Structure 1
Amino acid sequence: MSIDTARRVLGDATIAELQAGLRGSVVRPGDAEYDEARAIWNGAHDKHPALIVRCSGTADVVRAVEFARSEDLLVAVRGGAHSIAGFSTVDDGIVIDLSPMKGAIVDPVRRRVVAQAGMTWGDLDHETQAFGLAVTGGLVSSTGIAGFTLGGGVGWLLRRHGLASDNLTAAEVVTADGRVVRADPQEHSELYWALRGGGGNFGVVTSFEYQLHPVGPQVLAGLIVYPAEQARQVITGWRELTEDMPDELTTLVNLTTAPPLPFLPEEVHGTRVVVLLGMYAGDLTAGEAAVAPLRKLGTPIADLMGPMPYTGMQSLVDPLWAAGAHNYFTSAFIEPSDAALDAVLRLHLTTPTPSSELHLHQLGGAFARVPAEATAFSQRDARMLCNVIARSPDATGFDSHVAWARRTREDIARHGRGTTYVNFTGEAAEDKVRAAYPDAVRERLVEVKDTYDPTNLFRLNQNIRPSNGA
């Protein structure tokens, strides 16, 4: 329905009844805070919800779900609001906004944390690092814990401790019929399996319980910048080093354009560069030895690899990823053959904007040791993940940038099995779902969908449609 229709159907009395059942608040078109409340991190999605329900707790989420179902409203669920594909907003429907829900309880003895779904990784790291503990989090600290975890969760602790979803020990979920259930290995175990990689298909997760690990507070981490003319030797040398790197070390190569940062010579600004980022989650002396070969892959323009706070590494690139820019991310799991690396290097020269990039994430370690059938995230044997990022400050030329990213992804995907990372799929489409999940996994996800959301109330995601076709 249109916004005008939504206004007629959702009259003042109806909204007042909803508000009376909430501890949080309702934001409507015309309210002073509406434009701020409807905005998400990715400026490419400018939508106008009929209602935004800012939830203060689980009871508010239950009420919002019941209201959406009774009024037949399309539902968007918002945690941190990064939402590359725009799933955390909607035209004319209802946004269930979890961002006010930022509580966390850390148990340092059991090394567990229960975190509400509105937290970002910056929020959660702040709480857990007070006890010298952490779980695999996002590479940008403003990323929400919810969507990141439900889609898998690739971060600096991946090789040491696995994905964020691998460390999910339980979740509280509001289902499509308004029930509140606990999903863990004993209760609702199939739902628990599906939540670890299956995205937001099965309900609104209101809190996450994670296994924590001793990390920091100081880690050996940072970045090394090499000139583009050394790209081939750097990237092939890095590939060779990844074959026997210790699990404590997770690395990433970013093929990008040098921003005007003070630690880079002015003559380098605006030129293509190779940035090698990494973090060693362990003893600092051992970390120095582990990263030493990374410093010898070429002649660095800048070397900022050294001891730093874990939270410093988690927020290192935040200034480059502020809210409001237009973003399109897509991805492919690949095998880093010579042909694959040649393709990546060639495509780096075609990036349409200075902030458009190609990332090569090193996998393996603890990530690879999780049995494929243990979670809905199934790409455990892949050696690398290539993320293709089209980014521009505004809408000017953005459609052509997106077209570049799609072409680039297809070119690179030929060097793998065509599979993709569900958190970086660009947009909702059936082919994206098929590229993210093997057939057997998708069929199992459909069974979970049939049980918990047979009417497909939660469809703004990489959607697993129920078997009835809803």
Structure 2
Amino acid sequence: MTPRTLVPDSALAGLREDLAGEVLVPDDPGCDGARTVFNGMIDRRPAVIARCATPEDVANAVLFARETGLPVAVRGGHAVAGTALDDGGPVVDLRRMHAVVADPENMTVRVGGGATMSHLDRACQPFHVAVTGGRASTTGVGGFTLGGGSGWLERRFGLACDHLLSAELVTAGGRHVHTDAEENPELFWALHGGGGNFGVVTSMTLRVHALPEFCFALLLFTPDAGPDVVRAYRDLMDAPAPDAVGGGVLCLTAPPAEFVPPELAGTRMCAVVVTYAGPEAELREAVAPLLALGPAATAVAVAEIPYAGFPCVLDDPPGQRNYWSAEYLDAFPDEAVEVFCARAEDMPVPTGTQHVVFPMGGRVARGPSEYPLPWRTAPWAVHPFGVWEDPADDERAIRWVRDVRAGVRPWAVGAVYLNFIGAEGADRVAAGLGAENARRPAEVKAAYDPGNVFRFNHDTAPAA
């Protein structure tokens, strides 16, 4: 038997022979690095890591797991809950399968199951096309899209899953399946917000949109200006602002940077980030009321850049301790603004923590209504994003995130984007799918994974 695993050596030898990729077990060099995940709070030790290079590798790894009687964890990009690993079980690691091929003639892009947002954006940039991507460059495109896909460009283009045209999966039985609106339509429906528990997505095809120009504005204020700044941003977006305008307000620790006065680095600040899917002149016109706040700001930057260079601006470095959550709001009145700003006073500083409120609306709200995305029509979202390094801060950081949720709950719709939360229980998973969708995803799960082999994401149990 292989040390510290329940996997027979004969089965492991067969897997090594079957895979074009690499197989790692705990005693192998490089296994510790391969099992390290984005969230530093997670320290799990899988029995086997199958670093797959092809869809056939994925099928062989899934069949190996079935033969050994072990459930399968699937790893693509980052996940706050650490669901990409399981103690003592096998991991299907897709990160080698990160090829992205843009087809500007047909306005589509084919994305490998292990591709990150950085891979996607860099492949699309030469053709000046894009699809809504995540707010961090290390986000995995697969899990991001299958969970709904909320990002900087969502008000202009809609959620990422709205542009999912097809997907290739490996089922729990090791079978290769294609799904689109015509072929296996129930599975296709479930992949629009239902997450990745129905199979291992080895590739997907997305519709892209022309994005010849992209720019952003960043305004940094001291905390005392917070309520006025948040209200000004809210009023701008509720007017409503053009769909091309996105962004949000963030309370965060000011970084040491050229545009930040040295005496403010490491202190709590209030930042307004405005993104614009268009030229800088239009951005300045659309957000003139915010730019008028400039004299009160400690720093102001407006720039036109390639979109592929933007998602890394607010990256959360891997290896830090993370605890996130979110509430989607039916309104953001002055009282909610005051609560939001008051909770900023308690946030852990100096850390990588961000206290975020951002607008929805635009093409998100006008998108397809039939998918399991009950938070789609909420006009605002509050996203406490706890990030810190010292384990001694665990209790206060987690408590702060929970306090933020409790504070804004009077305005909450009850639904939540599952990609923004960790392990918060079955009720929150149900809130992510919507009460009206309680049965349908479970029936899809029963059809493709009746034994619940894939259960380490936000799990949908198979219908009985």
Output the TM-score relative to the length of structure 1.
0.94
Secondary structure at the aligned position of 2:260 is classed as coil
Name the SS of the counterpart of 1:414 in structure 2.
helix
Contact 1:251 1:279 in 2 (8 A): yes
Q: 1:366 aligns with which of 363, 384, 400?
A: 363
Name the structure 2 match of 1:292: 288
> 2:441 matched to 1:445?
yes
Q: 3-state SS of the aligned residue for 1:305?
A: strand
Q: Write the distance in 2 (CA, Å) between the matches of 1:14 and 1:348.
A: 53
> Paired residue for 2:22?
25
Runs of 4+ in 1 over 6 A off after TM superposition: none
Q: Which residue does 2:381 correspond to in 1?
A: 385
Residues 242-321 of structure 1: matches in 2 within 5 Å?
242-243=237-238, 244-297=240-293, 299-318=296-315, 321=316
Aligned residue in 2 for 1:125: 121
CA contact (8 A) 1:413 1:419 kept: no
The CA distance in 2 between the partners of 1:365 and 1:333, in whole Å, is 15
Deviation for aligned residue 1:53: 0.2
Classify 1:238/1:260 alpha carbon distance in 2 versus 1 (closer, same or farther; 3 Å): same
Which deviates the most, 457-466 or 397-406? 397-406
SS in 2 for 1:69: helix
How many aligned residue pairs are there?
Answer: 460
Q: Give me the whole-angstrom Cα distance separating, in 2, the residues matched to 1:200 and 1:414.
A: 31
Classify the secondary structure of the residue corresponding to 1:23: coil
Shift of residue 214, structure 1, vs aligned partner:
1.0
Q: Do structure 1's residue 398 and structure 2's residue 408 form an aligned pair?
A: no
Q: SS of the residue aligned with 2:305?
A: strand
**SS of residue matched to 2:438:** helix
What's the counterpart of residue 237 of structure 1? 232
- Give, in whole Å, the separation in 1 of the partners of 2:452 and 2:424: 14
* Partner residue of 2:143 out of 135, 140, 147: 147
Task: Check the 8 A contact 2:125/2:306 in 1, yes or no.
Answer: no
- Structure 1 residue corresponding to 2:67, chosen from 47, 70, 73: 70
Q: Deviations over 1:279-319 (max 9, x none)?
A: 1112332222113222124611111122122122222223x
For the 8 Å contact 1:43–1:325, the answer to whether it is kept is: yes
After superposition, what is the alpha-carbon deviation per residue over 1:353-382, rounded to whole angstroms, capped at 9, x for unaligned? 322221112110010101321x22222220
> Is the contact between residue 215 and residue 283 of structure 2 (CA under 8 Å) also seen in structure 1?
yes
SS at match of 2:198: coil
**RMSD value, Cα:** 1.6
Deviation at 1:179, TM superposition (A): 1.3
Where does 1:3-82 land on structure 2 (aligned, <5 Å)? 6=5, 9-80=6-77, 82=78
Letter in 1 for 2:69: D
What is the rounded CA distance, in whole Å, between the counterparts of 1:307 and 1:333 in structure 2? 30
Alpha-carbon distance, 1:49 to partner = 0.3
Does residue 192 of structure 1 match 2:191? no
Match of 1:164 among 150, 155, 160: 160
Q: In structure 1, how many angstroms separate the alpha carbons of the residues matched to 2:314 and 2:348? A: 21
**Retained in 1: the 8 A contact 2:359–2:379?**
yes
Unaligned runs of 5+ in 2: none
SS in structure 2 opposite 1:404? helix
Q: Are 2:267 and 2:349, in contact at CA under 8 Å, matched by a contact in 1?
A: no
**Would the alpha carbon gap of residues 97 and 157 (structure 1) be closer, same or farther in structure 2, given more than 3 Å must change?**
same
Q: List aligned pairs for 1:401-440, cutoff 5 A.
A: 401-440=397-436
The residue aligned with 2:218 is 223
The alpha-carbon distance between structure 1 residues 442 and 233, as it changes in their structure 2 partners (threshold 3 A), is: same
Deviation at 1:278, TM superposition (A): 1.8
Q: CA deviation at 1:3?
A: 8.8
Q: Percent identity at matched positions?
A: 38
Structure 2 residue identity aligned to 1:219: F
Distance 1:352 1:211 in 2: 40
In 1: Cα distance, 2:82 partner to 2:204 partner: 22
**Which residue of 69, 81, 87 maps to 1:85?**
81
Normalising to structure 2: TM-score of the pair? 0.96
2:102 maps to 1:106: yes
2:201 alignment partner in structure 1: 205
The aligned runs of 1:174-185 (5 Å cut-off) are 174-185=170-181
- 1:137-171 Cα offsets, whole Å, 9 max, x none, are 11111111111111111111100101111111111
**Does structure 2 retain, via aligned residues, the 8 Å contact 1:74–1:457?**
yes
Q: Is contact 1:428-1:462 (8 Å) kept?
A: no
| Inter-partner Cα distance in structure 2 for 1:105 and 1:45 | 33
